A and B are shown apart, each in its own frame.
Chain A
Protein backbone atom coordinates (compact mmCIF):
# COMPACT_ATOMS: atom_id res chain seq x y z
CA UNK A 1 0.00 0.00 0.00
CA UNK A 2 1.55 3.37 -1.00
CA UNK A 3 2.43 5.74 1.79
CA UNK A 4 -0.15 8.40 0.79
CA UNK A 5 -2.90 5.79 1.12
CA UNK A 6 -1.68 4.90 4.56
CA UNK A 7 -1.77 8.60 5.46
CA UNK A 8 -5.41 8.88 4.41
CA UNK A 9 -6.54 6.07 6.68
CA UNK A 10 -6.77 7.53 10.17
CA UNK A 11 -4.21 6.68 12.82
CA UNK A 12 -6.16 3.74 14.24
CA UNK A 13 -6.53 2.17 10.79
CA UNK A 14 -10.17 3.12 10.06
CA UNK A 15 -11.86 5.26 7.46
CA UNK A 16 -12.77 8.85 8.23
CA UNK A 17 -16.42 9.96 8.38
CA UNK A 18 -15.92 11.95 5.18
CA UNK A 19 -14.85 8.81 3.33
CA UNK A 20 -17.73 6.80 4.78
CA UNK A 21 -20.22 9.50 3.72
CA UNK A 22 -18.73 9.47 0.23
CA UNK A 23 -19.25 5.73 0.19
CA UNK A 24 -22.86 6.09 1.44
CA UNK A 25 -23.54 8.63 -1.31
CA UNK A 26 -22.11 6.24 -3.93
CA UNK A 27 -19.50 8.85 -4.77
CA UNK A 28 -16.17 7.64 -6.13
CA UNK A 29 -13.50 7.41 -3.44
CA UNK A 30 -10.69 9.95 -3.51
CA UNK A 31 -7.63 8.63 -5.33
CA UNK A 32 -5.53 8.59 -2.17
CA UNK A 33 -8.10 6.61 -0.17
CA UNK A 34 -8.28 2.85 0.08
CA UNK A 35 -11.30 1.29 -1.60
CA UNK A 36 -13.95 1.96 1.06
CA UNK A 37 -16.11 -0.99 -0.01
CA UNK A 38 -13.17 -3.36 0.30
CA UNK A 39 -12.21 -1.92 3.67
CA UNK A 40 -15.78 -2.22 4.98
CA UNK A 41 -15.90 -5.91 4.07
CA UNK A 42 -13.20 -6.59 6.62
CA UNK A 43 -13.73 -3.90 9.28
CA UNK A 44 -16.59 -4.18 11.77
CA UNK A 45 -15.74 -0.83 13.37
CA UNK A 46 -16.12 1.07 10.12
CA UNK A 47 -19.33 -0.82 9.26
CA UNK A 48 -20.78 0.22 12.62
CA UNK A 49 -19.68 3.82 12.13
CA UNK A 50 -21.18 3.90 8.61
CA UNK A 51 -24.47 2.66 10.07
CA UNK A 52 -24.42 5.46 12.70
CA UNK A 53 -23.91 8.03 9.95
CA UNK A 54 -26.67 6.53 7.82
CA UNK A 55 -29.12 6.60 10.76
CA UNK A 56 -28.17 10.19 11.62
CA UNK A 57 -28.94 11.25 8.08
CA UNK A 58 -32.32 9.53 8.15
CA UNK A 59 -33.14 11.13 11.49
CA UNK A 60 -32.10 14.53 10.15
CA UNK A 61 -34.29 14.09 7.06
CA UNK A 62 -37.26 13.30 9.33
CA UNK A 63 -36.58 16.28 11.59
CA UNK A 64 -36.28 18.64 8.64
CA UNK A 65 -39.51 17.37 7.10
CA UNK A 66 -41.35 17.67 10.41
CA UNK A 67 -40.24 21.25 10.88
CA UNK A 68 -40.70 22.51 7.34
CA UNK A 69 -42.63 25.71 6.90
CA UNK A 70 -45.60 26.30 4.68
CA UNK A 71 -46.00 24.80 1.26
CA UNK A 72 -45.01 26.70 -1.84
CA UNK A 73 -47.53 27.53 -4.56
CA UNK A 74 -48.18 24.60 -6.84
CA UNK A 75 -48.65 26.49 -10.08
CA UNK A 76 -46.70 29.23 -11.80
CA UNK A 77 -47.76 32.67 -10.49
CA UNK A 78 -49.62 34.58 -13.19
CA UNK A 79 -47.21 37.51 -13.05
CA UNK A 80 -44.25 35.21 -13.69
CA UNK A 81 -46.05 33.52 -16.55
CA UNK A 82 -46.80 36.90 -18.16
CA UNK A 83 -43.14 37.81 -17.83
CA UNK A 84 -42.09 34.56 -19.51
CA UNK A 85 -44.52 35.25 -22.36
CA UNK A 86 -43.29 38.83 -22.73
CA UNK A 87 -39.74 37.58 -22.74
CA UNK A 88 -40.56 35.03 -25.42
CA UNK A 89 -42.12 37.74 -27.59
CA UNK A 90 -39.22 40.10 -26.88
CA UNK A 91 -36.77 37.45 -28.01
CA UNK A 92 -38.66 37.17 -31.29
CA UNK A 93 -38.43 40.90 -31.83
CA UNK A 94 -34.82 40.96 -30.66
CA UNK A 95 -33.68 38.57 -33.40
CA UNK A 96 -31.21 40.50 -35.66
CA UNK A 97 -32.59 38.93 -38.82
CA UNK A 98 -36.16 39.76 -37.96
CA UNK A 99 -35.19 43.28 -36.89
CA UNK A 100 -33.41 43.84 -40.20
CA UNK A 101 -36.46 42.57 -42.04
CA UNK A 102 -38.64 44.92 -40.01
CA UNK A 103 -36.41 47.89 -40.88
CA UNK A 104 -36.62 47.06 -44.58
CA UNK A 105 -40.36 46.69 -44.28
CA UNK A 106 -40.68 50.05 -42.56
CA UNK A 107 -38.45 51.73 -45.14
CA UNK A 108 -40.45 50.19 -47.94
CA UNK A 109 -43.73 51.35 -46.53
CA UNK A 110 -42.61 54.91 -45.80
CA UNK A 111 -43.65 55.92 -49.25
CA UNK A 112 -46.98 54.22 -48.82
CA UNK A 113 -50.16 55.61 -47.36
CA UNK A 114 -50.09 57.51 -44.04
CA UNK A 115 -52.20 54.81 -42.40
CA UNK A 116 -49.58 52.19 -43.20
CA UNK A 117 -46.85 54.48 -41.81
CA UNK A 118 -48.83 54.91 -38.61
CA UNK A 119 -49.25 51.14 -38.33
CA UNK A 120 -45.54 50.50 -38.90
CA UNK A 121 -44.63 53.11 -36.29
CA UNK A 122 -46.92 51.48 -33.75
CA UNK A 123 -45.43 48.05 -34.43
CA UNK A 124 -41.91 49.38 -34.03
CA UNK A 125 -42.82 51.06 -30.76
CA UNK A 126 -44.31 47.80 -29.52
CA UNK A 127 -41.22 45.84 -30.53
CA UNK A 128 -38.84 48.20 -28.75
CA UNK A 129 -41.02 48.23 -25.64
CA UNK A 130 -41.03 44.45 -25.42
CA UNK A 131 -37.30 44.26 -26.02
CA UNK A 132 -36.57 46.37 -22.93
CA UNK A 133 -35.72 44.35 -19.83
CA UNK A 134 -38.78 43.76 -17.70
CA UNK A 135 -38.81 45.41 -14.31
CA UNK A 136 -38.08 42.80 -11.68
CA UNK A 137 -39.90 42.49 -8.38
CA UNK A 138 -37.57 43.46 -5.56
CA UNK A 139 -36.25 40.71 -3.31
CA UNK A 140 -37.19 42.86 -0.37
CA UNK A 141 -38.88 46.17 0.17
CA UNK A 142 -38.83 46.19 3.95
CA UNK A 143 -38.71 48.15 6.07
CA UNK A 144 -40.03 51.47 4.86
CA UNK A 145 -39.99 54.49 7.09
CA UNK A 146 -43.38 55.37 8.54
CA UNK A 147 -45.09 58.47 7.23
CA UNK A 148 -44.82 61.56 9.46
CA UNK A 149 -47.56 61.75 12.09
CA UNK A 150 -49.06 64.78 10.46
CA UNK A 151 -49.11 63.25 7.01
CA UNK A 152 -52.68 62.09 6.68
CA UNK A 153 -53.02 60.95 3.10
CA UNK A 154 -49.40 59.80 2.95
CA UNK A 155 -49.02 56.87 0.57
CA UNK A 156 -46.49 54.02 0.63
CA UNK A 157 -46.05 52.35 -2.71
CA UNK A 158 -44.41 48.97 -3.29
CA UNK A 159 -44.33 46.06 -5.71
CA UNK A 160 -45.79 42.94 -4.11
CA UNK A 161 -44.86 39.41 -5.08
CA UNK A 162 -47.50 37.19 -6.55
CA UNK A 163 -49.37 34.85 -4.23
CA UNK A 164 -51.19 35.49 -0.97
CA UNK A 165 -50.67 38.75 0.94
CA UNK A 166 -50.97 39.22 4.71
CA UNK A 167 -52.04 42.40 6.46
CA UNK A 168 -51.07 41.92 10.08
CA UNK A 169 -51.88 44.17 13.05
CA UNK A 170 -49.95 43.53 16.24
CA UNK A 171 -53.20 44.07 18.15
CA UNK A 172 -56.82 44.52 17.15
CA UNK A 173 -57.21 48.32 16.84
CA UNK A 174 -59.72 50.03 19.16
CA UNK A 175 -61.40 51.93 16.35
CA UNK A 176 -61.11 52.89 12.72
CA UNK A 177 -61.24 50.92 9.52
CA UNK A 178 -59.23 49.11 6.90
CA UNK A 179 -60.40 49.45 3.32
CA UNK A 180 -58.98 46.99 0.82
CA UNK A 181 -59.32 47.82 -2.83
CA UNK A 182 -58.22 45.90 -5.88
CA UNK A 183 -56.53 47.33 -8.88
CA UNK A 184 -55.46 46.13 -12.29
CA UNK A 185 -51.95 47.62 -11.88
CA UNK A 186 -48.84 45.83 -10.61
CA UNK A 187 -48.10 48.19 -7.70
CA UNK A 188 -49.66 48.16 -4.25
CA UNK A 189 -50.23 51.22 -2.09
CA UNK A 190 -50.99 51.86 1.56
CA UNK A 191 -52.70 55.17 2.26
CA UNK A 192 -53.14 56.55 5.76
CA UNK A 193 -56.59 58.14 6.01
CA UNK A 194 -56.30 59.28 9.63
CA UNK A 195 -56.05 58.11 13.22
CA UNK A 196 -52.83 57.04 14.91
CA UNK A 197 -49.64 56.45 12.97
CA UNK A 198 -47.80 53.30 14.11
CA UNK A 199 -44.73 51.99 12.30
CA UNK A 200 -45.42 50.08 9.10
CA UNK A 201 -43.21 47.34 7.70
CA UNK A 202 -43.78 46.33 4.12
CA UNK A 203 -42.41 43.25 2.41
CA UNK A 204 -43.30 41.75 -0.93
CA UNK A 205 -45.67 39.39 0.89
CA UNK A 206 -46.96 41.33 3.87
CA UNK A 207 -47.89 44.62 5.47
CA UNK A 208 -47.12 44.62 9.18
CA UNK A 209 -48.76 47.35 11.31
CA UNK A 210 -46.93 47.60 14.63
CA UNK A 211 -49.82 49.09 16.53
CA UNK A 212 -51.13 48.79 20.08
CA UNK A 213 -54.61 47.75 21.19
CA UNK A 214 -55.72 51.32 21.96
CA UNK A 215 -54.91 52.71 18.52
CA UNK A 216 -57.40 54.16 16.11
CA UNK A 217 -56.30 53.29 12.59
CA UNK A 218 -57.69 54.23 9.23
CA UNK A 219 -55.95 52.83 6.16
CA UNK A 220 -56.78 52.15 2.56
CA UNK A 221 -54.72 49.36 0.98
CA UNK A 222 -54.81 48.94 -2.79
CA UNK A 223 -53.51 45.63 -4.14
CA UNK A 224 -53.15 44.13 -7.62
CA UNK A 225 -56.23 42.07 -8.41
CA UNK A 226 -53.99 39.25 -9.63
CA UNK A 227 -52.99 38.51 -6.02
CA UNK A 228 -56.45 37.02 -5.42
CA UNK A 229 -56.06 36.29 -1.68
CA UNK A 230 -55.45 38.59 1.25
CA UNK A 231 -55.32 37.47 4.88
CA UNK A 232 -56.06 40.04 7.55
CA UNK A 233 -54.77 39.13 10.98
CA UNK A 234 -54.46 40.54 14.46
CA UNK A 235 -51.46 38.80 16.00
CA UNK A 236 -52.15 35.32 14.70
CA UNK A 237 -55.93 35.44 14.78
CA UNK A 238 -57.98 36.33 11.74
CA UNK A 239 -59.52 39.80 12.16
CA UNK A 240 -62.74 38.95 10.40
CA UNK A 241 -64.65 35.74 10.26
CA UNK A 242 -64.11 35.86 6.50
CA UNK A 243 -60.31 35.81 7.17
CA UNK A 244 -59.54 35.80 3.44
CA UNK A 245 -60.48 38.92 1.55
CA UNK A 246 -61.63 38.27 -1.97
CA UNK A 247 -60.08 40.80 -4.31
CA UNK A 248 -62.60 40.09 -7.01
CA UNK A 249 -64.80 42.54 -5.07
CA UNK A 250 -64.06 46.10 -6.06
CA UNK A 251 -63.60 47.41 -2.52
CA UNK A 252 -64.13 45.98 0.94
CA UNK A 253 -63.93 47.53 4.39
CA UNK A 254 -63.21 46.11 7.82
CA UNK A 255 -64.49 48.29 10.67
CA UNK A 256 -62.73 48.11 13.99
CA UNK A 257 -64.52 48.90 17.19
CA UNK A 258 -67.24 47.81 19.60
CA UNK A 259 -70.88 46.88 18.83
CA UNK A 260 -73.55 47.80 17.80
CA UNK A 261 -71.70 46.99 14.60
CA UNK A 262 -70.38 43.45 14.71
CA UNK A 263 -66.76 43.74 15.71
CA UNK A 264 -64.58 43.85 12.65
CA UNK A 265 -67.43 42.94 10.35
CA UNK A 266 -66.44 42.61 6.75
CA UNK A 267 -68.72 44.28 4.27
CA UNK A 268 -68.62 45.11 0.63
CA UNK A 269 -68.98 48.67 -0.48
CA UNK A 270 -71.27 48.68 -3.50
Chain B
Protein backbone atom coordinates (compact mmCIF):
# COMPACT_ATOMS: atom_id res chain seq x y z
CA UNK B 1 0.00 0.00 0.00
CA UNK B 2 1.35 3.41 -0.87
CA UNK B 3 2.57 5.62 1.93
CA UNK B 4 2.41 3.30 4.85
CA UNK B 5 4.08 0.10 5.88
CA UNK B 6 1.60 -2.59 6.85
CA UNK B 7 2.62 -5.60 8.83
CA UNK B 8 0.69 -8.68 9.89
CA UNK B 9 0.96 -9.18 13.64
CA UNK B 10 -0.05 -11.80 16.19
CA UNK B 11 -0.95 -11.05 19.78
CA UNK B 12 -2.67 -12.68 22.68
CA UNK B 13 -5.18 -10.16 23.96
CA UNK B 14 -7.01 -11.02 27.15
CA UNK B 15 -6.24 -14.65 26.61
CA UNK B 16 -7.46 -14.72 23.01
CA UNK B 17 -5.20 -15.09 19.97
CA UNK B 18 -5.52 -12.12 17.65
CA UNK B 19 -4.15 -11.55 14.15
CA UNK B 20 -4.22 -8.07 12.62
CA UNK B 21 -2.69 -6.06 9.83
CA UNK B 22 -1.42 -2.72 11.08
CA UNK B 23 0.37 0.38 9.91
CA UNK B 24 3.80 0.33 11.59
CA UNK B 25 2.93 3.75 13.02
CA UNK B 26 -0.02 2.37 14.97
CA UNK B 27 0.41 2.37 18.71
CA UNK B 28 -0.70 -0.57 20.80
CA UNK B 29 -3.30 1.81 22.23
CA UNK B 30 -4.78 2.64 18.85
CA UNK B 31 -4.69 -1.01 17.85
CA UNK B 32 -6.75 -1.89 20.90
CA UNK B 33 -9.24 0.94 20.48
CA UNK B 34 -9.61 1.49 16.76
CA UNK B 35 -9.03 -1.94 15.28
CA UNK B 36 -10.10 -4.28 18.05
CA UNK B 37 -12.83 -2.00 19.41
CA UNK B 38 -11.54 -2.53 22.95
CA UNK B 39 -12.29 0.96 24.14
CA UNK B 40 -11.67 0.32 27.82
CA UNK B 41 -8.07 1.51 27.54
CA UNK B 42 -8.10 5.26 27.22
CA UNK B 43 -6.14 7.92 25.37
CA UNK B 44 -5.48 10.97 27.53
CA UNK B 45 -2.37 12.54 26.09
CA UNK B 46 -0.75 10.14 23.61
CA UNK B 47 2.57 11.13 25.19
CA UNK B 48 3.10 8.90 28.18
CA UNK B 49 2.32 11.71 30.61
CA UNK B 50 -1.02 10.61 32.08
CA UNK B 51 -1.08 6.81 32.32
CA UNK B 52 -4.69 6.46 31.18
CA UNK B 53 -3.47 4.04 28.50
CA UNK B 54 -1.83 1.63 30.95
CA UNK B 55 -2.14 -2.06 30.06
CA UNK B 56 -0.31 -5.16 31.23
CA UNK B 57 2.08 -6.87 28.84
CA UNK B 58 3.28 -10.23 30.14
CA UNK B 59 2.18 -8.92 33.53
CA UNK B 60 4.16 -5.66 33.38
CA UNK B 61 2.46 -2.30 33.22
CA UNK B 62 3.31 -0.06 30.27
CA UNK B 63 1.95 3.06 28.58
CA UNK B 64 0.36 1.63 25.46
CA UNK B 65 0.38 5.04 23.73
CA UNK B 66 4.15 4.95 23.50
CA UNK B 67 4.24 1.29 22.50
CA UNK B 68 4.39 0.71 18.78
CA UNK B 69 2.12 -2.25 18.14
CA UNK B 70 4.71 -3.80 15.89
CA UNK B 71 7.25 -3.80 18.70
CA UNK B 72 4.90 -5.77 20.92
CA UNK B 73 3.93 -8.51 18.51
CA UNK B 74 3.61 -12.02 19.94
CA UNK B 75 3.23 -10.66 23.45
CA UNK B 76 0.36 -11.32 25.86
CA UNK B 77 -1.62 -8.17 26.58
CA UNK B 78 -4.19 -7.80 29.33
CA UNK B 79 -6.53 -4.82 29.26
CA UNK B 80 -9.28 -3.71 31.62
CA UNK B 81 -11.68 -5.87 29.65
CA UNK B 82 -9.62 -8.90 30.58
CA UNK B 83 -9.83 -8.55 34.33
CA UNK B 84 -12.24 -10.49 36.47
CA UNK B 85 -13.93 -13.73 35.60
CA UNK B 86 -17.13 -14.49 33.81
CA UNK B 87 -19.88 -12.23 35.14
CA UNK B 88 -17.76 -11.08 38.03
CA UNK B 89 -15.30 -8.34 38.64
CA UNK B 90 -11.77 -8.39 39.98
CA UNK B 91 -11.68 -7.58 43.71
CA UNK B 92 -9.83 -4.38 42.88
CA UNK B 93 -12.62 -3.28 40.57
CA UNK B 94 -15.15 -3.94 43.34
CA UNK B 95 -13.01 -1.96 45.74
CA UNK B 96 -12.90 0.99 43.33
CA UNK B 97 -16.70 1.04 43.32
CA UNK B 98 -16.96 0.68 47.09
CA UNK B 99 -14.32 3.30 47.89
CA UNK B 100 -15.39 5.67 45.06
CA UNK B 101 -11.94 5.52 43.47
CA UNK B 102 -13.11 7.46 40.43
CA UNK B 103 -15.54 10.13 39.33
CA UNK B 104 -15.69 10.60 35.57
CA UNK B 105 -14.18 7.16 35.09
CA UNK B 106 -11.85 8.06 32.24
CA UNK B 107 -8.53 7.43 34.01
CA UNK B 108 -9.98 4.45 35.85
CA UNK B 109 -9.02 1.52 33.60
CA UNK B 110 -5.47 2.87 33.55
CA UNK B 111 -5.42 3.25 37.34
CA UNK B 112 -6.66 -0.30 37.83
CA UNK B 113 -4.26 -1.93 35.38
CA UNK B 114 -1.41 0.16 36.75
CA UNK B 115 -2.26 -0.85 40.30
CA UNK B 116 -2.18 -4.52 39.38
CA UNK B 117 1.18 -4.13 37.69
CA UNK B 118 2.42 -2.09 40.61
CA UNK B 119 1.44 -4.66 43.20
CA UNK B 120 3.25 -7.31 41.20
CA UNK B 121 6.37 -5.12 41.20
CA UNK B 122 6.11 -4.88 44.97
CA UNK B 123 5.75 -8.64 45.24
CA UNK B 124 8.87 -9.04 43.11
CA UNK B 125 10.80 -6.73 45.42
CA UNK B 126 11.22 -3.77 43.05
CA UNK B 127 12.02 -0.68 45.16
CA UNK B 128 10.68 2.84 44.64
CA UNK B 129 11.95 6.35 45.15
CA UNK B 130 10.47 6.48 48.64
CA UNK B 131 11.70 3.08 49.79
CA UNK B 132 13.63 3.79 52.97
CA UNK B 133 15.91 0.76 52.83
CA UNK B 134 16.84 0.32 49.20
CA UNK B 135 18.52 -3.02 49.84
CA UNK B 136 15.59 -4.56 51.71
CA UNK B 137 14.35 -7.95 50.56
CA UNK B 138 10.66 -7.24 51.02
CA UNK B 139 8.86 -4.17 49.85
CA UNK B 140 6.04 -2.57 51.83
CA UNK B 141 2.73 -1.36 50.43
CA UNK B 142 2.28 1.63 52.74
CA UNK B 143 0.68 4.99 52.04
CA UNK B 144 3.80 6.67 50.65
CA UNK B 145 4.78 3.66 48.56
CA UNK B 146 1.36 3.32 46.96
CA UNK B 147 1.19 7.00 46.10
CA UNK B 148 4.72 7.19 44.72
CA UNK B 149 4.33 4.03 42.65
CA UNK B 150 0.98 5.18 41.25
CA UNK B 151 2.22 8.69 40.41
CA UNK B 152 2.35 7.82 36.72
CA UNK B 153 -1.46 7.81 36.67
CA UNK B 154 -3.02 11.26 36.68
CA UNK B 155 -6.57 11.85 37.90
CA UNK B 156 -7.93 15.32 37.23
CA UNK B 157 -11.12 14.58 39.12
CA UNK B 158 -8.87 14.17 42.15
CA UNK B 159 -10.10 10.73 43.18
CA UNK B 160 -6.65 9.92 44.56
CA UNK B 161 -7.81 9.23 48.12
CA UNK B 162 -10.41 6.72 46.93
CA UNK B 163 -7.93 5.03 44.59
CA UNK B 164 -5.39 4.58 47.37
CA UNK B 165 -8.11 3.29 49.69
CA UNK B 166 -9.24 0.77 47.08
CA UNK B 167 -5.69 -0.47 46.56
CA UNK B 168 -5.04 -0.71 50.28
CA UNK B 169 -8.24 -2.59 50.93
CA UNK B 170 -7.63 -5.10 48.15
CA UNK B 171 -3.99 -5.72 48.89
CA UNK B 172 -3.85 -5.24 52.65
CA UNK B 173 -1.20 -7.15 54.58
CA UNK B 174 0.89 -7.39 51.44
CA UNK B 175 -1.50 -9.82 49.79
CA UNK B 176 -0.56 -9.33 46.20
CA UNK B 177 -2.91 -11.02 43.79
CA UNK B 178 -0.99 -12.07 40.77
CA UNK B 179 -2.16 -9.95 37.82
CA UNK B 180 -1.79 -12.70 35.25
CA UNK B 181 -5.34 -13.81 35.54
CA UNK B 182 -6.94 -16.08 33.05
CA UNK B 183 -9.89 -14.61 31.26
CA UNK B 184 -12.85 -16.93 31.37
Q: Do A and B come from one complex?
A: no
